[in-house]
Structure 1
């Protein structure tokens, strides 16, 4: 269990999580430890993951530090379970799912954002910080899905204050003036005020837009109750947070893996070049049918998700004493299914350290590939994330070349994994 109170927190955050988890797993298949002031059980098998996240999900609630709840908002869907969570998750998933009224209609605008981002990097004529640039692109896509077309002043104010909240999210939670966390709290208050202004304008103008904000405004539960302005604001900020860092990290790794595997890159180029030529060298936009017919590129995104394992684990709390395979998990203990360990287990993925998209020509065994979580709390925006990845890759490989600047190996965590030095390519 490590040292009193701090447990093994320092070890976990000072080394590659894969090494930390794998070292312990060699001794104990499942792991008991103490992290962030909490006793934890870490479960590293597909069966355990299914037990916690699906078949017995009602025995485990999602849990986050209170400091993080304050910055996102207590009404955000992923802090809850039960009827409120179920109905809100269905609404968000429906709003971000691939159908003619949602994702399909966003394709031209997402494509325009991807082209603009790539051209701005190349025009800069200098080394770029990939992860930071990807965050900007993903933010703009998320903004589009939530608000549609929004007046520029609002967008800049939201982006400015969201950036401050983002910087303070993983900082030490002290309310001392001048600290990153205190600045984030102030910026979060401003975000709420700006969002309420946008909501009021929508209501006054009776604007019916096909976007997430419109769906949240029109939502009514079984009792006919609408969402409050605070509930809508919390869920908007929650969606932005859930989407930005994770998707930006995956896109960063895709660039890295394609760069490091030239044979795979050439094969992806060939697949995308055929679409490029069919569209008269980008004079016509990508179609939904073309995006759905990129088998190799799709496998590259799946293998990137497996290799990088952006979400290393889920964080749950036992709401009652739970028995699992003869062992007691006491009420109040944290439970962490280790996605990263499963994704890198040679029992399920042969040669797990090798980047091999061909492994996804066959469907993985059940509960062994969990890049977006599992069960009732699985990511409702995973289709949007896949869509922006495929669109960006298409324009990247058909029009640009890139090289690594600085270190070409190693991983840093903050908390999501990115290549050492944030991987800075020169386009």
Structure 2
């Protein structure tokens, strides 16, 4: 009922303490046309068209490298310096520890470290954006390229601050949720040998049916792994890899005559 009434009775919302960390212009704090505009930008990055291009790289990803790959697809960290890549990783650790902590911005607290981590990450992203602006890629390969193209347009509604906040949010989302989902999936499959057996058989069948055993994964093969998709969905359902999603009531809401939600 809450999700069905999105934008009418309820609205995506975060507490002020989390907004300071995620950024005042983050996707969850913007609504209406701007929210839709940014959502379309993200879909251009991870939608079907992009996924078809990624499919061969997805096949080669190992569990050990999946977190690194997810970050690279959002922002091509391979083009940055090694120091920048390491700084992002270190500061995201501080960021995660303080995201849902008591919001006391006192030196030594988790929240204070979280805010410092965000500041450092934003500085790295700003520098990477400036480097890409000074030396653009010949072909659009990642989100930085897409953002720069949007910023060049005379009629754009995208501001650099909003774009950087979005990059920050996407990087954090892939850093935290991807690795956690993989760990949960491995644990669940270890505890359910029947599911592991069926999953293995589904992928072995793809290999057996190939004319060329050495050929890469095709889009048709990807669409055929229905049990794999069920494993992924069940992992996300049981793992609950997103730390928190908040909604606020826009008006008084009664549910089944027993409960009433009041706007903040």
User: What TM-score do the two structures reach when normalised by structure 1?
Assistant: 0.54
Deviation at 1:241?
A: 2.6
1:187 and 2:137 matched: no
CA 1:64–1:162: 2 relative to 1, 3 Å = same
**Considering only aligned residues, what root-mean-square deviation do their CA atoms show, in Å?**
2.9
Moved more, 141-150 or 270-279: 270-279
* Matched residue, 1:296: 227
CA 1:280–1:168: 2 relative to 1, 3 Å = farther
The question of whether the paired residues in 1 share the 8 Å contact of 2:151 and 2:160 is answered with: no
* Matched residue, 2:262: 330
Deviation at 1:77?
A: 0.7
Deviation at 1:280?
A: 9.1
The question of whether the paired residues in 2 share the 8 Å contact of 1:199 and 1:229 is answered with: no
* Matched residue, 1:396: none
In 2, Cα distance between equivalents of 1:55 and 1:222 = 34
1:96 and 2:46 matched: yes
1:287 and 2:237 matched: no
CA 1:280–1:169: 2 relative to 1, 3 Å = farther
The question of whether the paired residues in 1 share the 8 Å contact of 2:71 and 2:175 is answered with: no
What per-residue deviation string (whole Å, max 9, x for no partner) do you get for residues 135-181 of structure 1? Answer: x733x233222223423423222222222222222332222212222
CA 1:235–1:185: 2 relative to 1, 3 Å = same
Superposition pairs of residues 19-418 of structure 1, within 5 angstroms: 48=1, 52-99=2-49, 102-114=50-62, 117=64, 137-138=66-67, 140-148=68-76, 149-153=78-82, 154-207=84-137, 208-219=139-150, 224-277=155-208, 283-310=214-241, 314-326=245-257, 328-332=260-264
- The alignment covers a number of residue pairs equal to 260
In 2, Cα distance between equivalents of 1:218 and 1:88 = 14
Moved more, 69-78 or 161-170: 161-170
In 2, Cα distance between equivalents of 1:200 and 1:308 = 38
Q: Secondary structure at the match of 1:61?
A: strand
CA 1:285–1:93: 2 relative to 1, 3 Å = same
In 2, Cα distance between equivalents of 1:220 and 1:54 = 34
Deviation at 1:311?
A: 5.0
Deviation at 1:244?
A: 3.6
CA 1:157–1:312: 2 relative to 1, 3 Å = closer
Q: Secondary structure at the match of 1:113?
A: coil
Gap runs ≥5 in structure 2: none
In 2, Cα distance between equivalents of 1:314 and 1:265 = 31
What per-residue deviation string (whole Å, max 9, x for no partner) do you get for residues 100-152 of structure 1? Answer: xx12222333333326x2xxxxxxxxxxxxxxxxxx733x2332222234234
The question of whether the paired residues in 1 share the 8 Å contact of 2:199 and 2:227 is answered with: yes
* Matched residue, 1:353: none
